[in-house]
């Protein structure tokens, strides 16, 4: 391998990549212009996100009490306690169910909505806006609104069911119904977001691909599977990953609607983490939950990349 004489760039020698950018050589500056580009973002991420994340890992290795002069080191005891905790396994189950169901529902419904509203007619524009409304509204308030609507005694939904002669259903009080209801509201709230991104992807598929396929005699279903899907694969990957990562961390909606109840039926990992950290003041334990969740998300994201047959820089 060639050793370049000008390998006196600021970056340390990590083998494989070539030193110095094309732009850099141009201006006779010895540093990578790339780092200038990434500097502001990187600085903010490092200071305000990455460093705190490592701090939280440090917390998880202690019986951390905020303000204590000396923190008690416990090593992996928090993690061991976590894996022996029934509430943790419950929260894990709830989180996974929530994520799988809501992501699948959003992708299916979002894709359907995007393709149904693809053309730029006035009607479509209006309906798209309507579908996007839930994403715009503040979550705390809409949670309150839905709680009111779903109240079995005084809610609108209860009123409607009473009008058709059925018993009002305790949507958020029944241990079996609470999670599906929360999932429903979550899909309701985020559908517009998914639809918009998929819309962007769908409108980007070159028309000539469709024409060529139609000339070959492809029908509706074949067009979808063999032209649309492959073309929007990167968008699908991006959307699924983002939705999964977000839904595994769901907190605000659950907090506002059920706070993990009834009887922990909707207790997600972050809800549990919040309770342990800020109600029970057990920061070390809460941080351990966060890191287990982090590991889980990394694994699932890697799996998704594999599933979508991601090749580098696609």
Residues 269-298 that bind other proteins (CB under 8 A): 270, 273-275, 277-281, 283, 286-287, 290, 293-294, 297-298
Which residues in the 196-225 window bind other proteins by CB under 8 A?
196-197, 199-205
Q: Interface with other proteins by CB under 8 A: which range of 95-103, 151-159, 208-216, 222-230? A: 151-159
Is the Cβ of residue 32 or residue 226 nearer to other proteins in the bound state? 32
What is the per-residue binding string for other proteins in 39-78, x denoting contact by CB under 8 A? Answer: -xxx-xx-xxxxxxx-xx--------xxxx----------
Whole-angstrom distance, CA of residue 2 vs CA of residue 278: 57
20-to-8, 31, 39 alpha-carbon distances in Å:
9, 7, 17
Could you say whether residue 34 binds other proteins (CB under 8 A)? yes
Task: State CA 313 to chain mean position distance.
Answer: 21
Given 147, 169, 213, 310, the residue binding other proteins (CB under 8 A): 147
Which residues in the 236-255 window bind other proteins by CB under 8 A?
238, 242, 245, 249, 251-252
Which residues in the 10-29 window bind other proteins by CB under 8 A?
11, 14, 17-19, 21-23, 26-27
Interior angle at CA 127, CA 126 and CA 132, nearest 5: 100
Is the Cβ of residue 156 or residue 303 nearer to other proteins in the bound state? 156
Cβ atoms < 10 Å from Cβ of 70: 7
The two three-digit tokens of residue 32, written as one number:
């990578």
For other proteins, how many residues bind (rule: CB under 8 A)?
123
Q: Are 124 and 117 in contact (CB under 8 A)?
A: yes
Is the Cβ of residue 173 or residue 226 nearer to other proteins in the bound state? 173
Given 145, 212, 303, 307, the residue binding other proteins (CB under 8 A): 145
Name 268's bridge partners: none
Inter-helix orientation angle 139-150/156-163, to 10°: 30
SS3 content of the chain, % helix, strand, coil (to 5): 70, 0, 30
């Amino acid at each position: 391998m060639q050793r370049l004489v000008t390998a006196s760039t600021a970056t340390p020698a990590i083998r494989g990549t070539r030193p110095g950018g094309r732009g850099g050589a141009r201006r006779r500056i010895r540093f990578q212009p790339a780092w200038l580009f990434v500097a502001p973002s990187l600085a903010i991420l490092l200071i305000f996100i990455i460093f705190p994340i490592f701090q939280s890992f440090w917390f998880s290795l202690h019986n951390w009490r905020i303000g204590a002069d000396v923190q008690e080191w416990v090593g992996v005891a928090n993690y061991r306690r976590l894996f022996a905790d029934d509430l943790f396994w419950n929260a894990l189950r709830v989180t996974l169910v929530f994520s799988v169901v809501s992501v699948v529902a959003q992708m299916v419904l979002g894709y359907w909505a995007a393709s149904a509203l693809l053309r730029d007619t006035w009607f479509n524009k209006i309906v798209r806006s309507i579908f996007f409304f839930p994403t715009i509204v503040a979550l705390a308030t809409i949670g309150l609104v839905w709680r009111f609507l779903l109240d079995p005694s005084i809610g609108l939904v209860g009123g409607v069911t009473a009008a058709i002669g059925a018993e009002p259903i305790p949507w958020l009080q029944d241990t079996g119904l609470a999670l599906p209801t929360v999932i429903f509201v979550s899909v309701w709230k985020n559908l517009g977001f998914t639809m918009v991104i998929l819309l962007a992807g769908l409108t980007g598929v070159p028309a000539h691909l469709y024409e060529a396929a139609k000339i070959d005699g492809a029908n509706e279903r074949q067009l979808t599977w063999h032209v649309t899907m492959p073309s929007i694969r990167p968008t699908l990957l991006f959307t699924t990953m983002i939705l999964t990562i977000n839904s595994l961390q769901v907190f605000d909606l659950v907090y506002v609607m059920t706070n993990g109840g009834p009887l922990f039926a909707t207790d997600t990992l972050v809800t549990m983490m919040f309770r342990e950290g800020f109600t029970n003041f057990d920061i070390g334990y809460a941080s351990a939950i966060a890191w287990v969740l982090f590991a889980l998300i990394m694994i699932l994201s890697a799996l998704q990349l594999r599933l979508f047959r991601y090749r580098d820089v696609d």
